[in-house]
Structure 1
Amino acid sequence: MENVDGYAQDTEPTMCMCGRNATMRTSWTENNPGRRFLGCSFYGRPDTCDYFKWVDPIVHPRYKSVINGLLMNANHKDALEKKLQRFLMYHRILLAMVVMVLLVRCVI
């Protein structure tokens, strides 16, 4: 029987070299975007067994290009949205300050 990811549910979890269950992760490097791998549950931290095994086959160059382009566009969009939010906040503060100055002038 297969789960949503296409992996058998009945198989036992893969153990890393230090006896822990290996964890499925996804690479987002430029060379392996979206490619899944198994690693020690403490993979990347100091003093681990550094167990590593690719789950997905090598990524086709066209796939790499498309995924990296989508990631670049998503990152660019996020940066633009943050810039727009800062711009709007700045102008709201500026407008509030102008209104306060006008109110103070009217009161005096």
Structure 2
Amino acid sequence: MAMENVDGYAQITEQTMCMCGKNAAMKTSWTKNNSGRRFLGCSFYGRLDACDYFKWVDPIVHPRYKSVINGLLRNANHKDALENKMQRNLMYHRILLAMVVMVLLVCCVI
């Protein structure tokens, strides 16, 4: 994907190859400093055989956008953590209830 600069924004005009010889993949950054910014990167990113190809597609994001995106990510992560905690608590209570029932059954049989 070759890029042309139009009014400060990168425009994708054709497919770009990374240094591996594969088509570069469009990705989105979720780091604290670049949340929501799009970039082209090696299609093997995250693997040992990936090259270091990297090129920003979007302009630098306004600091307020970064703040909003990071806040949304924190809220989503917090919600996921709460849901996981609730699931663990539910499982704990089910196990505890099963143990109580087993003890009552054993006491009633004896």
TM-score of the superposed pair, with normalisation by structure 2: 0.81
Give the RMSD, CA atoms, in angstroms: 1.8
Query: 1:43: Cα distance to partner?
Result: 3.2
1:103 to partner: Cα distance: 1.1
The answer on whether the counterparts of 1:32 and 1:59 sit within 8 Å (CA) in structure 2 is yes
Structure 1 position 41, deviation (Å): 1.4
Q: Which runs of 4+ in 1 moved over 6 A?
A: none
2-structure distance, mates of 1:49, 1:91:
49
2:87 corresponds to? 85
Q: What is residue 104 of structure 2 aligned with on the other side?
A: 102
The alignment partner of 1:81 has SS state of helix
From the two aligned structures, give the one with the greater strand fraction: 2
Q: Using CA pairs below 8 Å that are at least 6 residues apart, which structure has the higher relative contact order?
A: 2
Distance in 2 separating the partners of 1:86 and 1:18: 44
Q: With structure 1 as the length reference, what TM-score do the two structures score?
A: 0.82
Does residue 72 of structure 1 match 2:74? Answer: yes
Letter in 1 for 2:71: G
CA contact (8 A) 1:44 1:50 kept: no
Provide structure 1 residue ranges, at least 5 long, that are not aligned to the other structure: 1-6
Once the two structures are superposed, the pairs formed by residues 1-108 of structure 1 within 5 Å of their partners are 11-46=13-48, 48-108=50-110
8 Å contact kept, 1:43–1:51: no
Structure 2: runs of 5+ lacking an equivalent:
1-10
Shift of 1:104: 1.1
**Identity among equivalent pairs (%):** 85
Give the total of aligned pairs.
100
